[in-house]
Amino acid sequence: MHTRIRKSREELGYTREQFAELVDVSVSYMAEVERGRTGVSVKTLVKICKVLGLSADYAIFGNERGSDTMLLEKINRIDERYLPLLDKLITELLKL
C-alpha cells in the first residue's frame, strides 16, 4: 500500500509536505506511512484516497484501475464550482 500511495503522490506532483498538509497529518507520519513503517486509520486512508483520487481498493490491494475508473476518479477531484463547465464541455464534445 505504501508504495502505491507514494507513487500516486509523486505522479500528482505533491511534495510530501504538501500532501501531509492536505491529509492533515504530520510530515514525519506521512514519511513513515510511505515507507511502510506504520499503518493508517480508516479515517486517514479515506483522506489519502480522496486527495490522490484513488479507490481504497486500489490503495490497499493494488487492484488495477481501468481507464474509465481513472477518468471518474479525476472527475471526482474537480472543484464543484467547475462541474457546470465540465458538463457543458462534455455536452458539446458529444455533439461532434
What local confidence, expressed as pLDDT, does residue 59 receive? Answer: 87
Q: Could you read off the pLDDT of 6-53 as tens digits, one per residue?
A: 999 999 999 999 999 999 999 999 999 999 999 999 999 999 999 998
Sequence-separated (6 or more) residues with CB below 8 Å from residue 13: none
> What are the residue ranges spanned by the domains of the chain?
1-64, 66-96
Contact 52, 9 (CB under 8 A): yes
Rounded to a whole number of angstroms, the distance between the first and last alpha carbons of the chain is: 41
Q: Could you read off the pLDDT of 69-94 as tens digits, one per residue?
A: 777 778 888 888 999 999 899 899 99
- What pTM, to 2 d.p., does this model score? 0.65
Which CATH code is given to the segment(s) 1-64? 1.10.260.40
Mean pLDDT of 49-64: 85
What local confidence, expressed as pLDDT, does residue 78 receive? Answer: 87
